[in-house]
Copies of this chain bind each other. A is one copy, B any other.
Amino acid sequence: MTTEENFPAASPAFILVETQLADNIGSAARAMLNFGLDRMRLVNPKPEWPSDRASALASGADKVLKAAKVCRSLTEATADLQVVYATSARPRDLVRRIITPEQAGIEMRAHVAAGRQVGVLFGPERMGLVNDDLAVVDAVITVPVNPEFASLNLAQAVLLIGYEWMRHGVEVPATELRSNESDIANRQHLMSFVDRLVAELDEAGFLRVAQMRPAMIRNIHALLYRTQATDQEVRTMHGMLTELVTKRLAKRKPR
Protein backbone atom coordinates (compact mmCIF):
# COMPACT_ATOMS: atom_id res chain seq x y z
CA MET A 1 0.00 0.00 0.00
CA THR A 2 1.14 3.50 -0.70
CA THR A 3 1.39 5.51 2.46
CA GLU A 4 2.18 9.08 3.24
CA GLU A 5 5.72 7.97 4.14
CA ASN A 6 6.42 7.15 0.51
CA PHE A 7 6.19 10.77 -0.49
CA PRO A 8 9.38 12.76 -0.38
CA ALA A 9 9.62 15.19 2.50
CA ALA A 10 9.59 18.10 0.12
CA SER A 11 6.34 19.52 1.48
CA PRO A 12 4.70 19.99 4.87
CA ALA A 13 2.31 17.35 6.22
CA PHE A 14 -1.20 18.69 6.85
CA ILE A 15 -2.60 17.06 9.97
CA LEU A 16 -6.37 17.03 10.41
CA VAL A 17 -7.21 16.49 14.06
CA GLU A 18 -10.46 14.67 14.93
CA THR A 19 -12.28 15.89 11.86
CA GLN A 20 -16.04 15.29 12.09
CA LEU A 21 -17.15 15.15 8.47
CA ALA A 22 -15.85 13.07 5.56
CA ASP A 23 -16.84 15.94 3.23
CA ASN A 24 -14.33 18.19 4.89
CA ILE A 25 -11.51 15.66 4.65
CA GLY A 26 -12.25 15.28 0.92
CA SER A 27 -12.44 19.04 0.35
CA ALA A 28 -9.23 19.53 2.29
CA ALA A 29 -7.45 16.98 0.07
CA ARG A 30 -8.66 18.82 -3.02
CA ALA A 31 -7.55 22.18 -1.61
CA MET A 32 -4.14 20.73 -0.74
CA LEU A 33 -3.37 19.23 -4.11
CA ASN A 34 -4.16 22.53 -5.82
CA PHE A 35 -1.05 23.80 -4.15
CA GLY A 36 1.08 20.71 -4.65
CA LEU A 37 0.58 19.37 -1.12
CA ASP A 38 -0.01 15.64 -0.89
CA ARG A 39 0.99 14.58 2.62
CA MET A 40 -2.13 14.27 4.79
CA ARG A 41 -2.37 12.81 8.28
CA LEU A 42 -5.61 12.14 10.13
CA VAL A 43 -5.73 12.01 13.91
CA ASN A 44 -8.78 9.98 15.02
CA PRO A 45 -11.03 10.90 12.09
CA LYS A 46 -14.70 10.51 13.06
CA PRO A 47 -15.95 9.11 9.71
CA GLU A 48 -15.41 5.48 8.73
CA TRP A 49 -12.07 5.32 6.97
CA PRO A 50 -11.45 5.01 4.05
CA SER A 51 -14.53 6.99 3.07
CA ASP A 52 -16.32 7.05 -0.30
CA ARG A 53 -17.88 10.36 0.59
CA ALA A 54 -14.42 11.90 1.16
CA SER A 55 -13.24 10.56 -2.21
CA ALA A 56 -16.26 12.09 -3.94
CA LEU A 57 -15.51 15.51 -2.46
CA ALA A 58 -11.81 15.25 -3.28
CA SER A 59 -12.79 15.27 -6.98
CA GLY A 60 -9.54 13.97 -8.39
CA ALA A 61 -7.32 14.46 -5.37
CA ASP A 62 -7.95 10.84 -4.39
CA LYS A 63 -4.28 9.99 -4.21
CA VAL A 64 -3.92 12.34 -1.24
CA LEU A 65 -6.66 10.44 0.63
CA LYS A 66 -5.30 7.02 -0.34
CA ALA A 67 -1.87 7.92 1.02
CA ALA A 68 -3.20 9.60 4.16
CA LYS A 69 -1.76 8.23 7.38
CA VAL A 70 -4.31 7.58 10.12
CA CYS A 71 -2.94 8.12 13.64
CA ARG A 72 -4.35 7.44 17.08
CA SER A 73 -2.90 10.52 18.76
CA LEU A 74 -1.42 13.88 18.03
CA THR A 75 1.80 12.62 19.57
CA GLU A 76 1.95 9.79 17.04
CA ALA A 77 1.08 12.14 14.16
CA THR A 78 3.87 14.57 15.00
CA ALA A 79 6.54 12.16 16.26
CA ASP A 80 8.81 12.47 13.20
CA LEU A 81 8.27 16.20 12.69
CA GLN A 82 10.80 18.85 13.62
CA VAL A 83 8.65 21.94 13.22
CA VAL A 84 4.92 21.98 13.94
CA TYR A 85 2.44 24.80 13.33
CA ALA A 86 -1.19 24.98 14.38
CA THR A 87 -3.99 26.95 12.77
CA SER A 88 -6.30 28.73 15.15
CA ALA A 89 -8.04 31.96 15.93
CA ARG A 90 -5.91 34.00 18.31
CA PRO A 91 -5.54 31.81 21.37
CA ARG A 92 -6.39 33.28 24.75
CA ASP A 93 -4.48 32.70 27.95
CA LEU A 94 -1.52 31.19 26.22
CA VAL A 95 1.87 32.61 25.43
CA ARG A 96 2.38 31.63 21.83
CA ARG A 97 4.12 33.05 18.82
CA ILE A 98 1.27 34.08 16.51
CA ILE A 99 2.14 34.38 12.84
CA THR A 100 0.32 35.35 9.67
CA PRO A 101 -0.33 32.75 6.95
CA GLU A 102 2.24 34.60 4.82
CA GLN A 103 4.89 34.31 7.50
CA ALA A 104 4.03 30.61 7.79
CA GLY A 105 4.51 30.18 4.04
CA ILE A 106 7.91 31.83 4.21
CA GLU A 107 9.03 29.86 7.27
CA MET A 108 7.79 26.51 5.96
CA ARG A 109 9.68 27.00 2.69
CA ALA A 110 12.85 27.78 4.64
CA HIS A 111 12.48 24.77 6.93
CA VAL A 112 11.74 22.38 4.06
CA ALA A 113 14.67 23.80 2.09
CA ALA A 114 16.85 22.99 5.10
CA GLY A 115 15.60 19.39 4.93
CA ARG A 116 13.35 19.64 7.99
CA GLN A 117 10.12 17.72 8.51
CA VAL A 118 7.29 20.23 8.88
CA GLY A 119 3.63 19.79 9.82
CA VAL A 120 0.53 21.96 10.23
CA LEU A 121 -2.36 21.08 12.55
CA PHE A 122 -6.00 21.79 11.71
CA GLY A 123 -8.52 21.28 14.51
CA PRO A 124 -12.01 19.78 14.55
CA GLU A 125 -14.76 21.72 12.77
CA ARG A 126 -16.71 23.12 15.70
CA MET A 127 -14.21 23.46 18.47
CA GLY A 128 -10.87 23.95 16.79
CA LEU A 129 -7.71 22.93 18.57
CA VAL A 130 -7.64 23.02 22.35
CA ASN A 131 -5.05 24.94 24.35
CA ASP A 132 -3.21 21.71 25.22
CA ASP A 133 -2.60 21.17 21.49
CA LEU A 134 -1.61 24.78 20.92
CA ALA A 135 0.89 24.60 23.78
CA VAL A 136 3.05 22.01 22.03
CA VAL A 137 3.50 23.67 18.65
CA ASP A 138 6.18 26.08 17.51
CA ALA A 139 3.76 28.78 16.44
CA VAL A 140 0.08 29.42 15.82
CA ILE A 141 -1.04 30.58 12.37
CA THR A 142 -3.97 32.98 12.56
CA VAL A 143 -5.80 34.10 9.42
CA PRO A 144 -6.85 37.76 9.59
CA VAL A 145 -10.65 37.80 9.25
CA ASN A 146 -13.56 40.17 9.71
CA PRO A 147 -14.03 40.28 13.50
CA GLU A 148 -17.79 40.56 12.98
CA PHE A 149 -18.00 37.50 10.73
CA ALA A 150 -15.27 34.96 11.29
CA SER A 151 -16.60 31.87 9.60
CA LEU A 152 -13.76 30.06 7.84
CA ASN A 153 -14.39 26.36 7.49
CA LEU A 154 -11.78 23.63 7.67
CA ALA A 155 -11.17 23.29 3.92
CA GLN A 156 -10.90 27.07 3.57
CA ALA A 157 -8.23 27.22 6.26
CA VAL A 158 -6.38 24.42 4.47
CA LEU A 159 -6.75 26.32 1.20
CA LEU A 160 -5.29 29.55 2.57
CA ILE A 161 -2.27 27.92 4.22
CA GLY A 162 -1.70 25.83 1.08
CA TYR A 163 -1.89 28.98 -1.02
CA GLU A 164 0.76 30.71 1.09
CA TRP A 165 2.99 27.64 0.82
CA MET A 166 2.63 27.63 -2.98
CA ARG A 167 3.01 31.36 -3.32
CA HIS A 168 6.40 31.39 -1.67
CA GLY A 169 7.75 28.55 -3.76
CA VAL A 170 6.97 29.69 -7.27
CA GLU A 171 8.61 32.49 -9.14
CA VAL A 172 5.65 34.45 -10.44
CA PRO A 173 6.15 38.12 -11.27
CA ALA A 174 3.66 40.25 -9.34
CA THR A 175 2.59 41.78 -12.62
CA GLU A 176 3.46 40.91 -16.18
CA LEU A 177 2.13 41.45 -19.67
CA ARG A 178 1.04 38.19 -21.14
CA SER A 179 1.05 37.50 -24.84
CA ASN A 180 1.44 34.26 -26.70
CA GLU A 181 2.25 35.30 -30.19
CA SER A 182 4.40 38.35 -29.77
CA ASP A 183 6.34 40.25 -27.15
CA ILE A 184 6.37 43.93 -26.25
CA ALA A 185 7.43 45.93 -29.31
CA ASN A 186 10.74 47.68 -29.12
CA ARG A 187 10.71 51.46 -28.93
CA GLN A 188 11.77 51.88 -32.55
CA HIS A 189 8.77 49.98 -33.85
CA LEU A 190 6.36 51.78 -31.59
CA MET A 191 7.97 55.15 -32.31
CA SER A 192 7.75 54.66 -36.05
CA PHE A 193 4.02 54.14 -35.65
CA VAL A 194 3.63 57.14 -33.37
CA ASP A 195 5.59 59.31 -35.82
CA ARG A 196 3.45 58.09 -38.69
CA LEU A 197 0.29 58.80 -36.71
CA VAL A 198 1.44 62.35 -35.97
CA ALA A 199 2.33 62.87 -39.63
CA GLU A 200 -1.10 61.66 -40.71
CA LEU A 201 -2.80 63.84 -38.11
CA ASP A 202 -0.81 66.82 -39.41
CA GLU A 203 -1.84 65.91 -42.94
CA ALA A 204 -5.48 65.59 -41.89
CA GLY A 205 -5.36 68.99 -40.23
CA PHE A 206 -6.00 67.67 -36.73
CA LEU A 207 -2.89 69.38 -35.38
CA ARG A 208 -3.39 72.60 -37.25
CA VAL A 209 -3.44 74.96 -34.25
CA ALA A 210 0.30 75.50 -33.85
CA GLN A 211 -0.05 76.63 -30.24
CA MET A 212 -1.77 73.41 -29.23
CA ARG A 213 0.36 71.07 -31.28
CA PRO A 214 3.15 70.30 -28.75
CA ALA A 215 0.68 69.51 -25.95
CA MET A 216 -1.42 67.36 -28.26
CA ILE A 217 1.62 65.39 -29.34
CA ARG A 218 2.71 64.97 -25.75
CA ASN A 219 -0.71 63.55 -24.89
CA ILE A 220 -0.57 61.13 -27.81
CA HIS A 221 2.88 60.02 -26.68
CA ALA A 222 1.75 59.58 -23.08
CA LEU A 223 -1.15 57.44 -24.18
CA LEU A 224 0.69 55.21 -26.63
CA TYR A 225 3.99 54.78 -24.86
CA ARG A 226 2.39 53.39 -21.75
CA THR A 227 0.48 50.66 -23.57
CA GLN A 228 3.39 48.20 -23.69
CA ALA A 229 1.97 47.35 -27.11
CA THR A 230 3.26 44.18 -28.74
CA ASP A 231 4.64 43.95 -32.26
CA GLN A 232 1.35 42.40 -33.33
CA GLU A 233 -0.59 45.28 -31.85
CA VAL A 234 1.68 47.85 -33.50
CA ARG A 235 0.98 46.13 -36.83
CA THR A 236 -2.74 46.27 -36.04
CA MET A 237 -2.52 49.98 -35.31
CA HIS A 238 -0.64 50.55 -38.58
CA GLY A 239 -3.40 48.66 -40.39
CA MET A 240 -6.12 50.67 -38.70
CA LEU A 241 -4.39 53.93 -39.55
CA THR A 242 -3.95 52.90 -43.18
CA GLU A 243 -7.65 52.07 -43.41
CA LEU A 244 -8.68 55.35 -41.88
CA VAL A 245 -6.41 57.39 -44.11
CA THR A 246 -7.49 55.49 -47.22
CA LYS A 247 -11.15 56.06 -46.36
CA ARG A 248 -10.47 59.74 -45.85
CA LEU A 249 -8.62 60.01 -49.15
CA ALA A 250 -11.33 57.98 -50.91
CA LYS A 251 -13.97 60.32 -49.52
CA ARG A 252 -12.01 63.32 -50.62
CA LYS A 253 -11.44 62.17 -54.15
CA PRO A 254 -15.05 62.30 -55.38
CA ARG A 255 -15.27 65.93 -54.41
Contact = CB atoms under 8 A, between A and B. Distances in A.
Nearest to A179: B95
B98 A149 contact: no
Contacts of A60: 149, 151
Interface string A83-120: 00000001111111111111100000000000000000
Interface stretch (A33-41, A48-56, A191-199): A33-41
B152 A34 contact: yes
Contacts of A160: 159-160, 163
Number of identical protomers? 2
A186 to B, nearest CB: 16
Given A30-B151, A151-B59, A35 B174 contact: no
Contacts of A167: 100, 102, 144
A175 B97 contact: yes
Given A60-B151, A152-B34, A175 B102 contact: no
B31 A230 contact: no
Interface string A156-167: 100110010011
A139 interface: yes
A174 B102 contact: yes
B34 A177 contact: no
Contacts of A93: 180-181
A93 B101 CA distance: 34
Nearest to A173: B100
A149 to B, nearest CB: 4
Nearest to A146: B36
| Most B Cβ at <10 Å: residue of A34, A35, A160, A233 | A34
Contacts of A100: 167, 172-175
A150 B30 CA distance: 9
26 contacts: A30-B151, A31-B156, A34-B152, A34-B156, A35-B145, A35-B146, A36-B146, A36-B149, A61-B149, A91-B178, A92-B180, A93-B181, A94-B179, A95-B232, A96-B177, A97-B178, A98-B175, A100-B172, A100-B173, A100-B174, A103-B174, A103-B175, A144-B166, A156-B156, A160-B160, A163-B163
Closest 4 CB pairs of A and B: A103-B174, A36-B146, A95-B179, A98-B178
